[in-house]
Structure 1
Amino acid sequence: MISRRLLLSVAALSALMALSAAPASAETLKVVASFTVLADVVKQVGGDHVHVTSLVGPNGDPHEFEPSPADAKNLKAAEVTFVSGEGLEGWMDRLITASGYKGKPVTVSEGISTRTMEEDGKTITDPHVWNSPVNVKVWVANIEKALSSADPADAAAFKANAEKYTRKLDELNAYAHSKFDAIADDRRKVLTSHDAFGYFGREYKVSFLAPLGLSTESEASAADVAKLIDQIKSEHVKAYFFENSNDPRLVKQVAKATGAEPGGELYVESLSDAKGPAPTYEKMFRYNVDQLATAMAKSS
């Protein structure tokens, strides 16, 4: 009778042979992304081959972010780091210096046709490129290239993931057009907390009025607020939205003075937590489109 020990030895040998026959795969890449929206897109392209840490957490403001020692530790350990760029992450250079990180962050917004605006007498590039899925397709191409360079063994997987996600972004763009194209041009106007929907507005011909500029760190003067109130009244803007990542008090003050009705909360530069309505970029974008389209339809 075959002994129990012999059976165990045979089983162990079979397991070792199976492991040796399996194709070798690269280790999971340690990746850092500057904020949640970008982190999710990196996950979509990287799949199981990446472990992504977002420096700014859910519902966090990437403009006013204050890095912690834990953030410095995560950055130093990263094999690849991604930022959106265009002035969004003003704190990143300081964090790189403090952490001792030796790499160079990949700027995923390179190649996007950016928009500029005048703010406090200066011409500023709008960093909120992700609010158009057309721009996120550029992100995806840049992310795929960087991940494939860092992990050539898994380049085919990154390419397949990127192609699949790009098709999803095309679907999101078509979905938004189907919603807004049916609304009269003069009704595509809303009030928001700060000027973060420029690319969304450019793509879908929606006008966003905001008391704050491109950064939530800016402050609106009394004269600017008064001018905005007059504009909202004259253009008959009917709905206002506040944002998950910043203080809603100013936009509520403007809305009260104009009679604009609340349309709800938008996710502009930060995802929600897992239990919220916008835990991924895809869900965030669809949620925002639905909220905005519903409010505009009511005012028509």
Structure 2
Amino acid sequence: MSSRLLFLSAAIPAIMAFTAPVSAAELKAVASFTVLADIVHQVGGDKVQVSTLVGPDGDPHEFEPTPANAKALKAADVVFVSGEGLEGWMDRLISASGFKGKPVVASEGVNTRTMDEDGKTVTDPHVWNSPVNVKVWVANIEKALSAADPADAATFKANAEAYSKKLDELNAYAHSKLDKIPQEQRKVLTSHDAFGYFGREYKVSFLAPLGVSTETEASAADVAKLIEQIKVEKVKTYFFENSNDPRLVKQVAKATGAKPGGELYVESLSKPKGPASTYEKMFRFNVDQMAAAMEKAS
């Protein structure tokens, strides 16, 4: 990661707000990236002003904070991170911003999975790609918002219960689309290994040239091994991701004959007018894209 982390950055991107302008009396919440910010907004409703540090189509692995991010963090009443190693830049940003609180780790309590990364066992941080895990987020967010604003605890509780039902519906939707596809066809090539929780929940095999983080680089030997594996397992479809460089996955696809299945939203929501402007839209969009590709693979 570049050493130009904070105040040497010339560009100051706008911080995406999830609510309309609110009064100074309302709770100010900052989330590390768009997916988490949307869930905070769903639980907080109109009682909480939510902003995100990493904007739409942004990569939370390679994010470089700016002075605007530091300012927003310092003014926050409560800060949310996903945790599990996703936001490696957050401690430095907190130190530079002067924020005195302790971030709420939304993923605390999730049944995490581990994976191999350059010979080391690491925790997969991409927990939100299963709505079962996002229900844990919702419970943690409700608890944190209620502690910060007890007067509105009943509202947060009602919002959390309503949104948890939506997450159950999303989970059921994914199973309805994917369970009917033969197991040998549930194989997908993506840019990096970010769909492990989705794969675990819906029995889909994902192959990727990059590991848990887009900051890593795939060696020529790793790419060659992946190409051979894809040929052996007859993976027929590849997807690129909205938040990172598609060139490597396209290179692998070209060598294997895999056909493009489109774009997936993995670590970031789309811009407001895009197909994945909320978590609910993002998840349904990804399920539909993958199911359509797998069905064609027969």
Name the TM-score, length of structure 2 as normaliser.
0.92
Percent sequence identity is 82
Q: Deviations over 1:127-160 (max 9, x none)?
A: 0000000000000000000000000000000000
Residue 254 of structure 2 corresponds to residue 251 of structure 1: no
Which of 258, 276, 279 is residue 278 of structure 1 equivalent to?
Answer: 276
SS of residue matched to 2:62:
coil
Return the alpha-carbon distance in structure 1 between the equivalents of residues 77 and 122 of structure 2. Answer: 31
Which of 116, 120, 126 is residue 114 of structure 2 equivalent to?
Answer: 116
- The residue identity in structure 2 corresponding to 1:86 is E
Offset of residue 118 of structure 1: 1.2
Aligned to 1:197: 195
- The residue identity in structure 1 corresponding to 2:55 is G
**Is this contact kept in 2: 1:189–1:208, CA < 8 A?**
yes
Aligned to 1:106: 104
Q: Deviations over 1:96-129 (max 9, x none)?
A: 0000100000000000010001111111000000
Name the one with the larger helix percent: 1
Return the alpha-carbon distance in structure 2 between the equivalents of residues 264 and 26 of structure 1. Answer: 43
Name the TM-score, length of structure 1 as normaliser.
0.91
Residue 240 of structure 2 corresponds to residue 216 of structure 1: no
Q: Which runs of 5+ in 1 are unaligned?
A: 1-24
SS of residue matched to 2:56:
coil
**Is this contact kept in 2: 1:117–1:126, CA < 8 A?**
yes
Aligned to 1:168: 166
- Runs of 4+ in structure 1 over 2 Å off: none
Which of 66, 75, 78 is residue 77 of structure 1 equivalent to?
Answer: 75
Aligned to 1:154: 152
Return the alpha-carbon distance in structure 2 between the equivalents of residues 27 and 134 of structure 1. Answer: 33
Q: Which runs of 5+ in 2 are unaligned?
A: 1-22
Offset of residue 26 of structure 1: 9.8
Aligned residues: 276
Aligned to 2:66: 68
Return the alpha-carbon distance in structure 2 between the equivalents of residues 35 and 119 of structure 1. Answer: 23
Offset of residue 285 of structure 1: 0.1
Return the alpha-carbon distance in structure 1 between the equivalents of residues 180 and 119 of structure 2. Answer: 37
**Is this contact kept in 2: 1:277–1:287, CA < 8 A?**
yes
Q: Deviations over 1:206-242 (max 9, x none)?
A: 0000000000000000000000000000000000000
Q: Deviations over 1:6-37 (max 9, x none)?
A: xxxxxxxxxxxxxxxxxxx9931010000000
- The residue identity in structure 2 corresponding to 1:97 is S
Which of 21, 30, 33 is residue 32 of structure 1 equivalent to?
Answer: 30
Q: Which protein shows a greater Rg?
A: 1
- The residue identity in structure 1 corresponding to 2:294 is M
Return the alpha-carbon distance in structure 1 between the equivalents of residues 238 and 251 of structure 2. Answer: 11
Aligned-pair Cα RMSD in Å: 1.0
